[in-house]
Amino acid sequence: MQTDNHAKRILLGISGGIAAYKAPMLVRNLRKMGADVVPVLTQNATRFVTETALQAVADNRPRTDLWDADAEAAMGHIELARWADALIIAPATANVIARLANGIADDLLTTLYLATTAPVFVAPAMNVKMWEHAATGRNLERLRDDGVTVLGPADGAQACGEFGPGRMIEPDEIAEKVTAAIGTPRVLDGTRVLITAGPTREFLDPVRFISNRSSGRQGFALAEAAHNAGAQVTLVAGPVHLPTPTGIERIDVVSAKQMKDAVTCRAPHADIFVSVAAVADYRPHTVHGQKLKKSQQRSTDFRVALKENEDIVGSIAGVKPRPFVVGFAAETESPLEHAREKRRRKCMDAIVVNDVSDPAIGFDSSDNAVTLIHAGGEVGLPKMRKGAIARRLVDEIAALYASAGRG
């Protein structure tokens, strides 16, 4: 076991679900990121993954038993709880989540959970019906209230043949999220950051609307990265299917008008405003109270009159005092030229531009590549995961904010 102060020391709790077969891969992912990992298995977990496999990849002896005299002599369980920089429980079954939520410490893993003061992460993995059960929801809510970070679950095909939420998120994603949360320098400590994300919907009648392809993923990743860097984050989100990152205040809105109202009353309390949302530029001039009928149109050439939505970022950036303002631009041609012009026109301190004509980055992709443009220069960030882009952007924005004399 390493004693190096810089290596992150991770207790990896493994409980008895089929996803436990992925635990050796998670150990490898964590070790690749420089962590020292001690696996801790529940009795049921030993039915799905062997101690031999975990010993080989962790290079530390896995622990399974509170009453193992040899292991306790080498490092007692309280000492082990103190040693950890983080406790990850992956997979976390419905049963282990229930025991943790209720403070039941009847084996080594649940005892370590109560005894450690390190940040705790759980990656739930269970059948979709078990996931949707009210008891599981209550238990997870309690864990969140107790400061535990819940990672996932993912949606998809399950080992039991069902389909839906309940799959453990992949080991590389768990490793990435945990190392980002515990290893991120707190460059935004003490700041209040307001972020918009996702599309807006502009209704024509009760069933039809104008919108765009924004998934909200880049804005949500940025909110998570800013939180991990120490900021107090408020996220104003358009209609998207994304879970709220832990520790973030989320305000759901639908239309550009609602987004503007939500931002306008919060901006005076923010130090930094990042406008990632793809706000619809126009809304239907008339919103019909009832569903429009085809027969109501006199010609086959149906026209909808539109009126312009107010520019949210422009309205915040144009008034003093104001927060440090960062905009986003998704362009399909001459991205840098358009973004430079937009930054000046909307009085923004910086703008982040990406080229959405490339299907490998942008809208529905999990990758992105962007350029950050500010008054003093331009920084290009090559293609990488949206989470990694978000972390780099947070570093850049924090540095610009500090050099503008506001940090």
312 interacts with ligand CTP by CB under 6 A: yes
Q: How far is the CB of 355 from ligand CTP (least distance, A)?
A: 12
User: 218 - beta bridge partners?
Assistant: none
User: Length of the chain, please?
Assistant: 407
Omega cis (within 30) before 153: yes
Which regions of 107-183 does DSSP assign to beta strands (E)?
Answer: 120-124, 149-150, 154-157, 163-167
Q: Give min distance, CB of 2 to ligand CTP, in A.
A: 44
**Size of interface with ligand CTP, in residues (CB under 6 A):** 13
Identify the active-site residue in 160, 207, 287, 319: 160
Q: What is the rounded CA–CA span in Å between residue 281 and residue 311?
A: 8
CA distance 338 to 321: 27
SS3 96: helix
Pairing of strands 249-252, 232-237: parallel
Considering only 140, 279, 398, 400, the residue that binds ligand CTP (CB under 6 A) is 279
Region from 118-126, 239-247, 298-306, 323-331 binding ligand CTP, contact rule CB under 6 A: 323-331
Contact with ligand CTP (CB under 6 A): which of 171, 327, 335, 362?
A: 327
Q: Please identify, using beta-carbon distances, which residue of 146 and 310 lies nearer to ligand CTP.
A: 310
Decide: is 121 part of the binding site for ligand CTP (CB under 6 A). no
Asked if 324 is part of the footprint of ligand CTP (rule: CB under 6 A), the reply reads: no
For residues 150 and 114, is the Cβ–Cβ distance under 8 A? no
Q: Which amino acid is at 123?
A: A
If the CB atoms of residues 221 and 312 are measured against ligand CTP, the closer one turns out to be: 312
With CB under 6 A as the contact rule, which of the stretches 243-251, 272-280, 365-373, 395-403 interacts with ligand CTP?
272-280
120-124 and 86-92 as β-strands: parallel, antiparallel, unpaired? parallel
Instruction: Using the minimum distance from each CB to ligand CTP, give the nearer residue, 97 or 329.
Output: 329
Q: What is the DSSP letter of 179?
A: H
Site residues (CB under 6 A) for ligand CTP, limited to 332-371:
342
Residue 265 bears catalytic tag? no
The DSSP secondary structure of 333-361, one letter per residue, reads SSHHHHHHHHHHHTT-SEEEEEETTSTTS
In the complex with ligand CTP, the residue whose CB is nearer, 177 or 217, is 217
- Burial class of residue 263 (count of CB atoms within 10 Å of its CB; 0-12, 13-18, 19+): buried
Quick one: which of 94, 237, 256, 397 contacts ligand CTP (CB under 6 A)? Answer: 256
Q: Are strands 232-237 and 192-197 parallel, antiparallel or unpaired?
A: parallel
Using CB under 6 A as the binding rule, whether residue 48 contacts ligand CTP is answered as no
Q: Is 89 among the residues that bind ligand CTP (CB under 6 A)?
A: no
Q: Which residues bind ligand CTP (CB under 6 A)?
A: 256, 275, 277, 279, 281, 309, 311-313, 327-329, 342
The set of catalytic residues is 160
